[in-house]
Chain A
């Protein structure tokens, strides 16, 4: 009898474990899928931002400064980024 019961118990445990793992996988996958949909911009919920066109300069006596630059959340600069 013991030899029969052990596999049954193990099978039950495996079944429960499988359901648990599947539910975990679902929890992990759902946010990723929504991220992808959002990234693709295909959903109607997407709020689109006006394309920014960089300003034009000439290279005659031009200084180009590279520096960290902050776009403050909610401010004009942030909207120009589309964020």
Chain B
């Protein structure tokens, strides 16, 4: 009897518990529609990106084959060994790696600075997605014959994937986790060591 009274009283009193106001129907729908449209765009853009990456890979391969055939197959090994004994990959790949590493360094430095100041903008996620595709290409290319570069590329792939998946308005803990990963694996330090001081100038001089 007493239990029944309590339950009835509780049900009535609990109607006030976090009582909802009017549903902000239009405001929420606008946000949902925006997010849905952004995802649709991403789905449409992805195949285009894949084509772009494929074309870039073909071009890189073409350059490498062209250089190899210009030197002639018999003289190439001796010349390569004599001119560049400390490099495991052909010049075009080293140049591509230098440019890629410079972009990655700029992205991560900016990300870390904004994370310290507050909340990093969603622009970083977009840039990270772009760089991710290049990272995979680099890992599959002769540039990854260099053991140190390969290890750096693998760490970069992980960090870039985390940034790429960071939702807009991500909480501080998610951002901190990424920064911790950067620190623990000394990614920025290794990037700075691996990146030549003026890659573009050097590349132009060599070419």
Partners in one complex: no
